[in-house]
Each structure stands twice: as C-alpha cells, then as structure tokens.
A and B are shown apart, each in its own frame.
Chain A
Amino acid sequence: MKHDTEGSLQHWVSGVLRLGVMVAGSLGAIGLIYYLAMQKGPAPSYGQFLGEGSYRESIGSVFRKALSLDSQSVMQVGILALISTPIARVLVSLLGFIKEKDRTYVVITLAVLLTLLGSLVGGAIRG
C-alpha cells in the first residue's frame, strides 16, 4: 500500500519536472533560433559585465518585451521557467504529502518552501 502512494508522489514530482523542462526548453530554443537568425557579424563581446551598478532586470518588463517578440526576452522567459521548476517541484511534493496525510513530511516540505521563498524575497529586497 505504501508503494502505491509513493508511486503517485514520484509520478507527480517527475511530471512537474518534465513539464518545467519542456516549457523552458521550447521557449529557450525558439528565442535562441530567432536571435541567431537575426545576428550578423561577430558576436558581442561578453568580456565586460554590463549588469554593474544600478542595473536591475525586472520580471514585468521581461514579459512585456517577450510578448512583443524580442528574442532575448523570449529566452529570458524560458530561463525564468527553468528557475521556477525546482520551486514548483517542492510545491507539488507538499501537495503530495498533504494528500498522503504524512504530517512529518508536510512540516519538512513546508519548512523548505518557506526558506526558499524567504531567500527569493530576501534576495529581491537586497538586490
């Protein structure tokens, strides 16, 4: 009996990882192909870091520019999908443990999720 519930948890966790990877991979591939098709001449030099100082990337503007089909922003949305995948995986595990009524692991997963959100929010404030 334990193995049935264990199996469904595995199924869901593996499913959310695959979904995240597929979304991130497709958006990334579309954006990259579009970007490369437009690029002529030598690649820009990445020897100099342009994110210095007051530079901030806002998620809102990334999505807006992606909707207007800016190739770099489409890639960025793909990257954001990838970053969200492990977080979605923890969320799905939480739902799985709640469904299994496994109290110990609900608490454990909740603690992980809160720390994760804490460092994301904390990073956003500090950044």
Chain B
Amino acid sequence: MSAQLLTLIIFTASLFAGFLGSMTGLGGGVVITPVLTLLLGVDIRYAIGASLISVIATSSGAAAAYVRDGLSNIRVGMFLEIATTIGALFGAFLALFINAKALTIVFGVIMLQAAWQTVRPRKATEVVGEPDPLSKSLKLEGEYSTAEGKQRYEVYGVKPAFGVMFGAGTISGLLGIGSGAFKVIAMDQLMKLPFRVSTATSNFMIGVTAAASAGVYFSRGYIQPALATPVMLGVLVGSMIGAKTIHRVPVKQLRMAFAIVVGIAALQMMMTGIGGKG
C-alpha cells in the first residue's frame, strides 16, 4: 500500500471518529484503534499514541464551538477536572504496581451497564429530589440554547459525580483509555445535566485529561507523525462538522449513538483483557 493511500484511509476513518466523538462526548479511540491495528496492521503502541491525539483533537475542535455556544458548562468542567486530573495521576501511579489487564473486564462490565442506563426507558414520575446546595455555592447551574429558546438547568449530585470523576480519571491513567464515557454518564445520571450539555462538557474536559499523559507518550515515540497527523486533521474536520450538526439531532438519537459507541468500546476493552493482545 502506498503512503498516500494509507494516509487517505486513516484520514477518512478519523473524519468519522471526530464526527462521532463530537456528538457523543467521547474521544474517538473506539474507531481509530481497530482501524489502525486490525485493518492496517499498525503496532498497538502507535495506535495508542494516535488515539490520544484523536482525543485531544476531538476535544479542541468540538469544544471551540460548544464553549462559544454556551453548550459546554465551563464551571462544571473546571470543577470536575480537579477530580479527573488527580485521578489520572493516581492511576498512572497505580499502574506501576498492579496488572491493569485483569481490570479491563471489570470496567468493561461497568461500562456496558452504564451504557444501558443512558438509554433505558424512564418513568416520567421519577423523583429527582432537590438540586445540590453545593451547586449554588459553586455557581454550577447554567443555561443553554434549545429549539424552544434558552433553557435553564439545575445541577444535582455534585459530590457523587465528583467521586465518579475521580474514578474515571484513575481508569484513564491506569489503562490509558478515554474516560469520556464515565464523564458523560456521571453528568447525565448523577448531576442530571441536559444530555447535550453533558456530552459538550465531556468534550470540553477530555482534552485536558489526555494532554496530561501525552507528554510521556510523545517522548517515548508512541506518536508516529505520519500516522498521528492524518488522524489529527481528519478528527479536527470531523469534530467541527459534528459540532454544527449536533443541534439538529434529537436527544433520543444522541443517547442511542452514545450507548452503542460505549457498548462497542466496552466489548473491545474486554476482548483485549481476555485475549491479552495489545
């Protein structure tokens, strides 16, 4: 295969990854990794490096638009980033002592369950209780534009969400995989943010978590420029298209897309855990 064709295939797959990532608040590694390793026979370590670049590109490309439109909640993002960055540091530390491979199966099961939670039918009468008082003092509540004009929202369960975010950061530090799924789930299920706000805020956050570990991967040669650059360019374009399209996609379909992508990611993760390949 010529270098030109290889680049074109990677670029096209990344376009799709960026589009999907910007819609669902995930990093796109779920598309990039199998295309590089299974389809193109690239070493898993180059795929890990390229996935990391995909996460940062999705985050930066989509969040530029989401922040401007007020869809990403900057305060929620910043507050939860304390938990994810410290968690990531803790996870990287843990990785020195424990065999993370065995844990992939456990996390895979948790992710499958969580994916189901986002699409399960809800009872209209579900009691949500009072907004978290912490939300007031941290000024977390916000508003976002919908088809029916500006809509205000309150924030619930700040403390449990902070705990889950710490866990999400630890997992990403430990396994080197995107924790976007857990971020969206914590904001959607615990903080009861509108789904679009959850995915847009996750998009805003995942770049920081990934950038924290990118330095060491860069210096160790995981980020092969001829592979990572078409990934970066494709994902940037794809995520910008996604950020323009998301307003026209009904929330129900966004939830479905999210659950499917997370489900596939969970299965991929469990397979690497069982097979030990990669």
Contacts and interface: CB of A to CB of B under 8 A. Distances in A.
Contacts of A32: 7, 226, 229-230, 233
Which of B4, B74, B224, B233 has most A Cβ within 10 Å?
Answer: B74
Contact of B6 (A43, A47, A49, A85): A43
B187 interface: no
B164 interface: no
Interface string A73-92: 10110111011111101100
Interface stretch (B23-31, B101-109, B191-199, B208-216): B208-216
Nearest to B42: A46
Contact of B218 (A18, A43, A44, A83): A83
Given A78-B232, A82-B53, A112-B85, 16 more contacts: A13-B67, A17-B67, A42-B2, A43-B226, A46-B43, A48-B43, A57-B221, A79-B53, A82-B57, A85-B207, A85-B211, A115-B82, A119-B89, A123-B212, A123-B215, A124-B219
A39 interface: yes
A10 B68 contact: yes
Interface string A15-32: 001101100110011011
Judged by DSSP, the binding face of A is helix
Interface residues of B, number: 63
Contacts of A18: 64
Nearest to A113: B85
B161 interface: no
Interface string A51-84: 1000111100000000000001101101110111
B61 A112 contact: no
Interface in B179-211: 207-208, 210-211
B contact patch SS: helix
7 contacts: A14-B63, A46-B224, A78-B232, A82-B56, A83-B56, A123-B213, A123-B215
Interface of B: 1-7, 40-43, 45-46, 53, 56-57, 59-61, 63-65, 67-68, 70, 74-75, 78-79, 81-82, 85-86, 88-89, 92, 137-138, 207-208, 210-216, 218-230, 232-233, 236
A10 B232 CA distance: 24
Given A21-B61, A108-B82, A112-B81, A89 B221 contact: no
A42 B1 contact: yes
Contacts of B3: 35-36, 39, 42-44
